Amino acid sequence: MSVDLDAKPGVGLASSVVLAPSPVEVDAPAIRVGVIGYGYWGPNLVRNLVELPGFDVSVVSDRRPQRLMQARQRDPLVKTTTDCN
């Protein structure tokens, strides 16, 4: 994210912030993440990471097959496993 440092005084901060990724952010490789545990917070973590640019949720691990089925239903591209090693 870049900020316009040449913003005019008196103009609110919100109007001086440019929400565009810098060239370095666009060219950077995705950060691969594995989530162990798809219980209470797991679905929220996976959803947020999947929606963030620059992140790749590689795998979700949980001991309960029904939770892994929920993860696959929510995001079919995420790999799932019961093995956390």
pLDDT 10s digits, 30-64: 899 999 999 999 999 999 999 999 999 999 999 99
User: What pLDDT is recorded for position 66?
Assistant: 96
pLDDT 10s digits, 1-39: 555 566 565 555 555 565 666 665 566 788 999 999 999
Residue carrying structure tokens 């870049």: 2
Domain spans in the chain, listed from the N-terminal domain onward? 2-81
Could you tell me the pTM of the whole model? Answer: 0.65
CB neighbourhood size of 34 (10 A): 13
Residue carrying structure tokens 């999947």: 50
Q: Does domain 2-81 have CATH number 3.40.50.920?
A: no
What are 11's two structure tokens? Answer: 């103009």
